[in-house]
Structure 1
Amino acid sequence: MDSQNEQEELEIDWKCNSLWTVEYPKNDKIGKLLSHFSMIPVIAPFALLLVLILKRNFASFCCLTGLVASTLFCRVLKSYFRHPRPDAGHSASHGKFGFPSDHSMSIAVLVVFVLHYSRKLDSICLRAFANLSVVALSILVIVSRVYLQYHSLGQVLAGYVFGILFAFVWLKASKPAKKHFQSASKRIAQKSTKFEKLTVVLFFAGEEIKMKKNGKKDENKSS
């Protein structure tokens, strides 16, 4: 009877974050804040995809493909080790297995990529800010996964180590693809000019509106 009462007292009243399927202890402000930081590895690929579309640089391409590949590799490792997550009583399931942590693995990959490519930044202050920010965010991600009881400390540390090793291998393996990426990017840019005269493209780009405004200005000047 006493053990049953103790178990009920230890049970946590989990509340799901309104933005993500991440649960935190109810009325726990730190847990709620960490639930947001916990999703940084999930948001990062979409941010990199946007940068890739706008900038079409190899760094964003390498980072994006590396994050996707590391996530797939982590799923393979999880199915191999089949190590269960902590039994915390979450209602929102993130999968049965938790070794290694894919969130900590992804953020470790991102840390290595940022530290590597930030060396090309001319501004020392900007380079220091980028490096410090990504390291601080990685710590918050690791702490959040353990604090919210989605992973044990061993699972997140293992994910971080696997992520660092994977990132170095990916950077080395992706070097030969740089020339192919640059040539493909140029071809895409050349072919995309064919679509620039389409009315639909001009409309969503806002060029058609500019043309109409300029046309009205010319009419007013002529009158």
Structure 2
Amino acid sequence: MLFGLPATELVEDDLEPFKFTHVVYQKGDLLGKLMALLSLAPIFIMVSYATLVASRRDLRTISLVVGQLLNELLNTALKHWIKQPRPVALVRFHLGSYGMPSDHAQFMFFAAAYVLLFASLRWGQPLYARAGWCLAAVCFAAAVALSRVYLMYHTPEQILVGALVGSVAGVAWFAVTEALLQPSFRAVAETPLARWLLVRDCSDCRDVLTAEFEATRGPSDRSLGGRLPARGHLGSVANARKSA
């Protein structure tokens, strides 16, 4: 019995997997298992996005999440417009979904393109650190995309088109954020609702992590009776805004 139903009533044809986490690979294939884990990367990234939005409440992060969701809508629209099927090898697991362009490739290369531009133009870290993050983002995106070919969920052409569309969309959304959205972030952060939700604009701070560390060190040092001077409340942001 299962939830009051006889087990014999569970017919395979009536079962439907949850698509977002359903990945199949050849039994005993360790590389296939690794590729299956890589295929779950977009889900882990969306959870990371939600965590960042909830904990940091920065408008630029919120903008990135909005752009990523719009990118997913674009992928869905393109799939239903092109209507190219997935590879036939695993057709019974695809449940009639289309494959052109690859949603995984488009998702990952959108994120990689945005990270590359942000690290290159906005992040106040040494060149080697920025280059390392850019290389890691591109390699990770490529690995996830290739996993979909290895697992026979997409053809190489579907992966390439997805990577191209995602990269263009990521560059376009970064440009929209810089030119149209970012100038209004400060005004949005000062609205009553944003202040109540503790939403903030960190666009003028080129290294938020270091600024937050310095801001919390001052009170910590004073509470311990130390003689170190307080380092201010996100001083990097304040100084940048005064000079802007």
Q: What TM-score results when the alignment is normalised by the length of structure 1? A: 0.71
Structure 1 unaligned runs (5+)? 1-15, 194-223
Shift of 1:90: 5.4
Determine the structure 1 residue equivalent to 2:216.
Answer: none
- Cα root mean square deviation, aligned: 2.2
Count of residue correspondences: 176
- Aligned pair 1:123/2:105, yes or no? no
Checking the alignment, whether the CA contact within 8 Å between 2:117 and 2:171 is kept in structure 1 is no
> Which residue identity lines up with residue 181 of structure 2 in the other structure?
A
Report the residue type matching 1:181 in the other structure. Answer: F
Residue 135 of structure 1 aligns to which amino acid in structure 2?
V
Q: Identity of paired residues, percent?
A: 26
> Which one of 157, 161, 164 corresponds to residue 161 of structure 1?
164
- Give 1:91 shift: 4.8
Q: 1-side partners of 2:189 and 2:37: how far apart?
A: 35
Render the CA deviation track for 1:163-213: whole Å, top value 9, x for unaligned: 1111222222233122333333343453247xxxxxxxxxxxxxxxxxxxx
- Identify if the C-alpha distance between structure 1 residues 110 and 185 changes in structure 2 by more than 3 Å, giving closer, same or farther: same
Structure 2, gaps ≥5 residues long: 1-16, 199-244
Match of 1:67 in 2: 68
Matches for 1:32-71 after TM superposition, within 5 Å: 32-71=33-72
Match of 2:150 in 1: 147
Q: Is the Cα–Cα contact under 8 Å of residues 90 and 152 in structure 2 kept in the other structure?
A: no
Task: Quote the offset at 1:55 in angstroms.
Answer: 1.9
Q: Which residue of 2 aligns with 1:190?
A: 195
AA paired with 1:79? H
Counterpart-to-counterpart distance in 1, 2:190 and 2:47: 23
TM-score normalised according to structure 2 size = 0.66
- The answer to whether the 8 A contact 2:60-2:182 is kept is no
2:112/2:138 contact within 8 Å kept: yes
Alignment partner, residue 170 of structure 1:
173
**Residue number in structure 2 paired with 1:219:** none
Indicate conservation of the 8 Å contact 1:62/1:171, yes or no. no
Q: How does 1:98-109 map to 2 (within 5 A)?
A: 98-109=99-110
What residue identity is the alignment partner of 1:62? S
Return the alpha-carbon distance in structure 2 between the equivalents of residues 121 and 146 of structure 1. 37
> How far apart are 1:154 and its partner, in Å?
0.2
Aligned match of 1:180 in 184, 191, 209?
A: 184
**1:132-169 residue CA offsets vs partner (Å, 9 max, x unmatched):** 21111111111100000000000000011111111222
What are the superposed Cα offsets for residues 59-102 of structure 1, whole Å, 9 maximum, x if unpaired? Answer: 32232111110110010000000000001235543652100001
